Structure 1
């Protein structure tokens, strides 16, 4: 397993006992809501640290994770 997979597993297990602040809140999967708007909600979440760890390792292409969005950068990859 990868470190990102391990981090996601730890987050999933924690969410079984601790409801995340983003649960059932579609703003966290919307591209229309700035991550900076959601970040204060994330910082109060009981699974924030696990969510942040997963986000940093996996860099998910969708959604807001621990108050951040991870988008691919075409210029970094060399795409035009």
Structure 2
């Protein structure tokens, strides 16, 4: 897994608060790290960014 890179790397849309998750969800679905990303987000509940196709820290 060390050689895998997330498809969102260097993509500002994933950290921009104005990005709607549905606009990047397809890219997340194709990412080889999607399940690891989702697992992290479920645990950490990051307040910012899009993780595995959604925002986790918002209600």
TM score, norm. by length of structure 2: 0.90
Runs of 4+ in 1 over 4 A off after TM superposition: none
Show the counterpart of 1:38: 24
> Residue 17 of structure 1 aligns to a residue in which SS?
coil
Superposition deviation, residue 36 in structure 1: 1.0
* Structure 1 residues 11-58: Cα deviation after superposition (integer angstroms, max 9, x where no partner): xxx4x4111110000000001110111111000001000000001111
* Structure 1 residues 54-79: Cα deviation after superposition (integer angstroms, max 9, x where no partner): 01111100000000102344xxxxxx
TM score, norm. by length of structure 1: 0.68
Show the counterpart of 2:46: 60
Report the number of matched residues.
Answer: 59
Structure 2, unpaired ranges of 5+: none
The structure having more radius of gyration, on CA atoms, is 1
